[in-house]
Amino acid sequence: MRLRFWFVLLSATLLISLLIAAVSALTGPGSAEGGGRMGGEDGLLEVSSSPNPTQVRRGETVTWNVTINNPTSKPVEGLFIKVVFDPEVEVLAASIPPLSAALFKLEEVGARSFATLSLVVRVPRSERSFAMSRSIKGEGFVSLSEEYSTIEEPYEIRCLVSAWAEGMGRPVRNSSALAVLGEEGAMVRVREMGSGNYSSSEEVRVNERNRSIEIARNVSADYRPFDLDLWVEGSRNGSSLWSEMIELRNDLARDTSSFGERNATHLHRWYHAILQQNGTVVSFGEGWRPAYIHDPV
């Protein structure tokens, strides 16, 4: 009978412990989209955040507002707020001087009142304008893939907020999101594959300001089989006829085009393409012409 009594007592203690853990999990602080809470003596400390506006373009500014609400009957002193953006943004101004890059402190949030932290941030804008030239020459098996693009895909910037004060347990967390709109642009994609003698030259100019692309290119390729050195297994004869595909996508002018050859024994051609706001201009011909770009797009 005594052994049974201890068994019942241990089982009851275990049950009480599990109930306490479950209640703590349900009422303890956690993360929430748009708001969070942190326990006080006779109420809950609340935190929320929101961007204004809720969607922007690259390079524009947005004001992120963080609100701390104290519905309790006592003031909260020494409240720390950590604000992290993912991905990073440029912080231009803050309504409260920061302690560090992402950490702020409120000396007091009065009873049954609220306090705000406002951050003015700039959405990153990539500066990918560049001009480049290159040349390739050799023999064997060639598999070439190139892509140049000024098209910007939409994405989100998240603001992660944590708030805590001494004697109030774990931080309360909150997150909110800003929609960054996509932007139209242009894209050039080159694919070449084959075996034999190969040479090519190319000049490219990408202009991020007006999202245009200009490319001038030469290719000369003659098919022949080749011996592929497999190191362990020795060499093996291989061959592949030449294939070339050029894809042009100009969202600025709402047009697309593509051209190329498949299963060719020879490739000897040049082409020049300009993709910009007022349209796409393409010229090409047989033979070899020096690849050069006369004027900026």
* pLDDT tens, residue by residue, 143-194: 999 999 999 999 999 999 999 987 777 888 999 999 999 999 999 999 999 9
Whole-number pLDDT of residue 230:
59
pLDDT of residue 276: 95
Query: Does the structure show a pLDDT above 70 at 229?
Result: no
Q: Is the pLDDT of residue 211 over 60?
A: yes
> What does the pLDDT read at residue 81?
95
pLDDT the model gives residue 86: 93
Per-residue pLDDT at 183: 93
Pick the CATH number of 29-125+156-177 from 3.40.50.20, 2.120.10.30, 2.60.40.10, 2.40.110.10: 2.60.40.10
- Among 17-26, 95-104, 214-223, the least confident range: 17-26
The pLDDT tens digits of the residues spanning 231-287 come to 656 556 678 999 999 999 999 999 999 999 999 999 999 999 999 999 999 999 998
Whether the link from the prior residue into 124 is cis, omega within 30° of 0, is no
Question: 86-118 pLDDT, tens per residue?
Answer: 999 999 999 999 999 899 999 999 998 999 999
Locate the domains of the chain by residue range. Answer: 29-125+156-177, 184-286
Residue 264 has a pLDDT of 95
What is the reported pLDDT for 3?
A: 30
pLDDT at 23 (0 to 100): 34
188 within 8 A of 143, measured Cβ to Cβ: no
What confidence score (pLDDT) does residue 165 get? 86
The average confidence (pLDDT) of the chain is: 82
